[in-house]
Amino acid sequence: MSEVNILSQEKPKSIKLADGKDYNLPPIDLTTLANIEKTMGFSLSKLAVKMESEAMGTLRNITFALLKESQPELTIEQAGRLVTLNEMKTLSETISAIMAVSG
């Protein structure tokens, strides 16, 4: 039986966005989740409701919160412009993980 090292860290995921550059999405840890809540201005427990009522704005907020960890100069408008329909599929895995935690 193998032991799990609870101190090992998940690695950031790299994603190519609409400008052709690679961006890092941080590992989904407690700090990242807290930063997402702070950026969005509401708790993750309200995420499903927000996704139903304001899907695109909520997706943009989550994307902005994730990208600004490694790109602090990025604005919310710039973050939104980096994601076209092509990139949404790739981002959906990370967003699904966040929603699973918030559920």
Dump pLDDT digits (tens) for 10-42.
Answer: 777 788 899 999 998 888 888 889 999 998 899
- Residue 71: which of 42, 94, 63 has the closest Cα? 63
> 19 lies in a domain?
no
> 63 lies in a domain?
yes
> 10 lies in a domain?
no
Q: How many domains does the chain have?
A: 1
Q: Is the pLDDT of residue 102 over 70?
A: no
> 56 lies in a domain?
yes
Residue range(s) defining the domain that contains residue 33: 28-102
| Span 70-94, pLDDT tens digits | 899 999 999 999 999 888 887 877 7
> 11 lies in a domain?
no
Q: Is the pLDDT of residue 100 over 80?
A: no
> 21 lies in a domain?
no
Q: How far is CA 2 from CA 5, 7, 11, in A?
A: 10, 15, 20
> Residue 27 and residue 46: Cα distance in Å, rounded?
21
Residue 80 and residue 60 in contact, taking contact as beta carbons nearer than 8 Å: yes
Paired tokens of 37: 């809540």
Residue 47 and residue 59 in contact, taking contact as beta carbons nearer than 8 Å: no
pLDDT of residue 72: 92
pTM of the predicted model over 0.85: no
> 75 lies in a domain?
yes
> 15 lies in a domain?
no
Rounded to an integer, the average pLDDT of 36-57 is 89
Paired tokens of 88: 């949404």
